[in-house]
Chain A
Amino acid sequence: MEESDLTPRGWLRHQATRVRVLLAQVVALGVVVGCLTIVQMGLLAWIVSRLTIEGIPADELIWPFMGLALVVVLRALAQWGQESAGNEAGVRVRSRLRAELLDHLAALGPQRLSDQHSAGLGGQVVEQVEALDGYFSRFLPQLRLAVVLPLIILCVVLWLDWLAALFLLLAAPLIPLFMALVGMGAERLNREQFLAVTRLAGHFLDRVRGVTTLQLFNRTERSVDEVFTAADDYRQRSMRTLRIAFLSSAVLEFFASVAIAVVAIYIGFGLLGYISFGPADELTLFSGLFVLLLAPEFFQPLRTLSQHYHDRAAALGAADALVKLLKRPAPAEPVPAEVSETEGQASGSRVDLENVVVSYPERGRVLGPLDLVIEPGECLAVTGPSGTGKSTLLHLLGGFVTPAEGSYEVSPAAPIAWMDQRPWLVKGSLADNLRLAAPDADEARLYDAVRQAGLGALIDTLPDGLDTSLGERGLGLSGGQAQRLALARVFLSQAPLVLLDEPTASLDVDTEAQIIGSLRRLIDAGRTLIVATHHPALIDMADRVLTLSEGRVIDSQRRGRNEIEQ
């Protein structure tokens, strides 16, 4: 399937083919349920007719009664099977899709996703994929059943009384027509609804994260009002969607009710002998009651479909957003392979940039044209005023941005050690946070890394050591401690290329010196280090200092490492 011309509908259809067998099963069981319903109603009408018209006492009809009970039980079993199979189809589609979505997001990388709120993306992975459930588990099978079951019932009614069948047939086409009219609006509203949900989540997350800032600037009361306004806006949007959905079922129900009432009155008049044309004078209580009991069943599959109509609208809304995300071209190069504990460590990476230019849509050209060769084992410091492309250079080497022009190569293409300006910490223990860089590392290696990053003294004072748990963004750790924890990951990893963005910001002189000592150990081990920094002590550590201004190299100084050590 061509990724470029994906429409939400086409995409959903494509997903359905992947659970074809299950969906067929659901439809088949649905037909069984429908047929058993017909048998059940027929038996009921027959029993009533025998009782009232022929005056047979109830005790002589014990077997038909037992038969009726048996049909009811069988029907319940089939219904259970139908629903369970539909549920399974929904689960399978979602599990596959979620995996694909996460893969795609990973391939896109952080820089390409920087215009998206991570809570919004998280919501897409969780809520929007969940929103597809009803479409596959209920709506799609019901769409088939809404055609098949009324036809079967129509045939039965036709056999009983063709005029009654005609009444049903006349009412039927009106229903999908009205639903289509109502549904068209619902689809657009549903898309808006999804946007509103995503916006609401982003709005809340922003306010929640910045709650301290809001408190400091006396904005809490206003932000509470804003939260209420956002929630109320969400209510109004939801109501618009819901009103349409409810209206569509009301319209359907209204037409069904009118048709049933017409049939009931026709049968009543026919039984009284008031109608002398057509098959009316052949009506009996059995056929009349049977038709009357089948009339609601004729409309029931359509009513059920309209109840599931919002499932379709929700799925289309979700699909629209998901397809947009999936359409974003991800770079062809694979995400670096997983860390293998046996390899690595050997030597540093070589980096080769040729005439590279990087530009962002909002900010224009941020880096280049740039020619640069970094030898294995070299330590390069990149400096220059903030906003001149230091971070962009690191993003490029990390593989998160594709150059607009030129080419670059990192060899070997092994894992890279990375540390950001904002230390990324997850909820969990200190050890969990460290193992993000090396999942299989044992306790001893973790302690070693922590000491190299200058956190040894702190960890020793903790009663639970590395099992101490942290809040979000390292709350419970000070800024410097959080940064050192992120730095500990660099020491833990075996990556031959190390990218550091202001690794010593907010550390005091003693700690900085300690860390520089550790970083030197990395250089001595032959790893390639690229450090974006302003700190003189870090710059002194480098073999070469690159000064950037407005994305271009304005100065490149080579230094002897020994010179500094003296």
Chain B
Amino acid sequence: MKSSNDATLTATFRPWMKVLGRRRRRLWLGGLLILLTVAAAIGLLALSGWFITATAVTGLMLAAGIQATLDIYRPGAGIRFFAVGRSVVRYVERVYNHETVLRLLADLRAGMFTVMTRLDERVVGQLRASEWLNRLTADIDALDSLYLRLLAPPLVALLAIAGIGILLGLFVPGIGVAVAIPLLGLWLWLVVGQARLGLAASRRRIATLDRLRMRSIEQMQGLAELRCYGTLATHRRALADEERALYEDQRRLGRYQALGNALVGMGVTLSAVLALWLGARAFGAGEISGPVMVMMPLAVLAMSEALAMLPSGFTHFGSTLAAAERLNGIASLRGAIREPQAPEALPEGALSLEMVDVSLDYSGTGLPSEVRSVTPALERVSFSVHAGERVALLGESGAGKSSVAKLATRLIEPEQGQVLIGGNNVRQVALGELRSRIGYLTQHAELFHDTLAANLRLGDAQADDARLWDVLSIVDLAAWARELPQGLDTWVGESGRQLSGGQARRVALARVLLCDPDLVILDEPFSGLDATTAAYIASRLDDCLAGRTVIYLAHDEAGLPSVDRALRLREGRLT
């Protein structure tokens, strides 16, 4: 039963209710506007019904020669007031509430991205980029239903039912109660029943859409392999399975929602018939007048306005629930990198690096064990690189070289031991200072979907064009870039795809040089380059790296510029 899940439901939505709470005033005002729209609709129908019947009765009396008067101006004005008021209030309400919700969503997106940027790199890697994208877009979008479909409408509907009960009860208490009871039953079904009916399918639907999107992106990214290997059709079949599941659930949800909508129409009209029946009996007993008797069912008919929002919202309750659960999952990820309370300043000039008994076994990340076993780990590694020294850190791929660099830049945090930069524990140095003093060319250096210049300026936002050409010439790309029709403004494409692999790599290297670091860590700086280009770049690098500490990460010394000494890592240990 739903009640048994109430505790978990509340827990799931609690963080989001808190977020909503920040815009409490806007939300209450929005709810009030919805209530006004419903009240205007009820008023319009009820008053019209009363008015027509009253005029008919009066007309008959007049025709029969009986003296009778009817104030036609005030009800007429009332009808116009409700009619125009309803249109205006509804417009204002919709604009106002959508604005509120979109503001909430923008807050949420930025908040979620902030959480992500502070996570340990190993934890971030747990989700595919496309999954992170979905958290930021689709999941957060799904939360807009929380207020607009799941909170405000049922509350307003409940108030409207109470209002109708009281309105009818003012004339005949029994009728008010008798009509409110079936309407309450209907409300209960639309909220609880529809939610339970659609829960599984709507929950699944979001996950299926997620997988469908992921598979589609995979197909786009791997089109070369899939087409060449001739396995496109196989991959497509996996996609088709997801699609089938999606359509199946959409059909089911469509039927459920149609059921809810039909029930709204049927339940409300039958309640109106009931009101008419009871009203007619009260009229027969002389308890109420004819016009009031007609007013009652018409007022009830207007309730469909208040209930019409419920089926679509609650049939898809599972989608919102699932989105909230997934987002909660991210918020609860462990392994955030924290800024020090009282940061220490790094010394001026070239920086030393020291590892003291560092172990990296991934137990602090809360990652599942099968991921940990593939990932390289360090075991009690101690070594130091003096300021201004040039050292090669060698080892086969997977030996733990990249981990050393990530520890130095505090992208990851060791389970044991200390990492010292310039004699300071990295945990005690402000992240901004630490990273601005260290230049690290990662193995998969990402270029952004932007211009060549913008990608370079990540290294130094203030750099002028001359500086950019400078670093481009160091990596031997200046001549190439000058040939480009759009020069520095050439768009590099997703992940630098418009460039060749070697060119993208060199742009990333140029970007690192641009930030003028005091400790430079270059991971395979020449991979993918021909020997001539590599040698040329190595000689230019020599000059511009003078006076800095340099650590090269490579699998062997061949092709590296001259170094003072070489360290070797094997399976996470220094040899």
Contacts and interface: CB of A to CB of B under 8 A. Distances in A.
State the 9 A-B residue pairs at the shortest beta-carbon distance, nearest first. A480-B397, A386-B502, A508-B555, A87-B254, A257-B83, A421-B501, A472-B128, A415-B230, A83-B258
Interface string A81-125: 011100110110011001100100110011001111111011101
Contacts of A505: 501, 527-528
A260 B70 contact: no
B428 interface: no
B398 A480 contact: yes
A250 interface: yes
Interface stretch (B170-178, B182-190, B193-201, B443-451): B443-451
A462 B373 contact: yes
Contact of B125 (A47, A269, A476, A507): A476
A463 interface: yes
Contact of A258 (B83, B125, B214, B239): B83
Interface in A352-403: 362-364, 383-387, 390-391, 395, 398-400
A496 to B, nearest CB: 12
B258 A80 contact: yes
A429 B281 CA distance: 73
B378 to A, nearest CB: 13
Contacts of B396: 480, 508, 510-511
A193 B247 CA distance: 26
5 contacts: A53-B60, A387-B502, A398-B224, A472-B127, A476-B125
Contacts of B102: 234-235, 238-239
Contacts of A273: 59, 62-63
Contacts of B458: 213-214, 217, 219
A276 to B, nearest CB: 13
A436 interface: yes
A163 interface: no
Pick the most buried of A53, A95, A426, A468: most chain B CB atoms within 10 A of its CB: A426
A336 B227 contact: yes
B231 A126 contact: no
A553 B132 CA distance: 45
B79 A261 contact: yes
A476 B374 contact: yes
B106 A119 contact: no
A285 B116 CA distance: 68
A561 B495 CA distance: 38
Contacts of A390: 500
Contacts of B60: 53
Contact of B531 (A224, A225, A439, A534): A534
A339 B501 CA distance: 29
B297 A468 contact: no
Contact of A211 (B124, B212, B263, B269): B124
B494 A335 contact: no
Interface string A392-428: 0001001110000000000000111111111010110
B373 A424 contact: no
B136 A208 contact: yes
A362 B451 CA distance: 13
Given A53-B60, A267-B55, A386-B529, 15 more contacts: A76-B262, A106-B219, A211-B116, A234-B102, A243-B95, A246-B91, A292-B52, A338-B230, A395-B224, A421-B501, A422-B501, A502-B501, A506-B524, A507-B397, A511-B396
Given A224-B117, A254-B84, A336-B230, A215 B411 contact: yes
A384 B533 CA distance: 10
A424 B218 CA distance: 9
Interface string A435-462: 0111100000000000000000010011
Nearest to B220: A118
B273 A69 contact: yes
B216 A220 contact: no
A424 B80 CA distance: 66
B546 interface: no
B338 interface: no
Contact of B442 (A212, A231, A242, A507): A212
Interface stretch (B107-115, B155-163, B348-356): B107-115
Interface string B422-450: 00000000011001101010111111111
A58 B283 CA distance: 9
Contacts of A418: 224-225, 228-229
Nearest to A78: B262
B558 interface: yes
Interface string A161-177: 00000000000000000
A202 interface: yes
A462 B60 CA distance: 94
| Majority-rule SS of B interface residues | helix
Nearest to A483: B397
A72 B300 CA distance: 15
B370 A102 contact: no
Interface in A468-490: 468-473, 475-481, 483, 486, 489
Interface string B35-77: 0000000001000110111011111101100000010100010
A261 B130 contact: no
A234 B110 CA distance: 13
Interface string A126-138: 1000100000010
Given A209-B446, A218-B432, A418-B225, A102 B397 contact: no
A51 interface: yes
A211 B117 contact: yes
A362 B55 contact: no
A361 to B, nearest CB: 10
A72 B444 contact: no
B31 interface: no
Pick the most buried of A58, A273, A462, A511: most chain B CB atoms within 10 A of its CB: A58
B254 A83 contact: yes
Interface string B240-254: 100100010011001
A506 B136 contact: no
Nearest to B283: A51
A346 interface: no
Contacts of B59: 271-273
Nearest to B278: A58
Contact of B266 (A73, A116, A231): A73
B276 A47 contact: yes
Contacts of A110: 223-224, 227
Contact of B293 (A51, A115, A208): A51
Nearest to B264: A76
A7 B265 CA distance: 39
B228 A415 contact: yes
Contacts of A122: 130, 213-214, 216-217, 220
A44 interface: yes
B226 interface: yes
Given A95-B243, A495-B229, A257 B87 contact: yes
B371 interface: yes
Nearest to B490: A362
Contacts of A268: 51-52, 55, 72, 76
A337 interface: yes
A332 interface: no
Nearest to A510: B396
B560 interface: no
Given A218-B435, A288-B56, A204 B530 contact: no
Contacts of B26: none
A141 to B, nearest CB: 13
B330 to A, nearest CB: 12
B130 A205 contact: yes
A19 interface: no
Given A269-B72, A417-B228, A207 B79 contact: no
Pick the most buried of A205, A391, A501, A510: most chain B CB atoms within 10 A of its CB: A205
Contact of A224 (B56, B110, B501): B110
Given A98-B243, A209-B446, A508-B396, A250 B90 contact: yes
A109 B227 CA distance: 8
B209 interface: yes
Contact of B83 (A261, A415, A462): A261
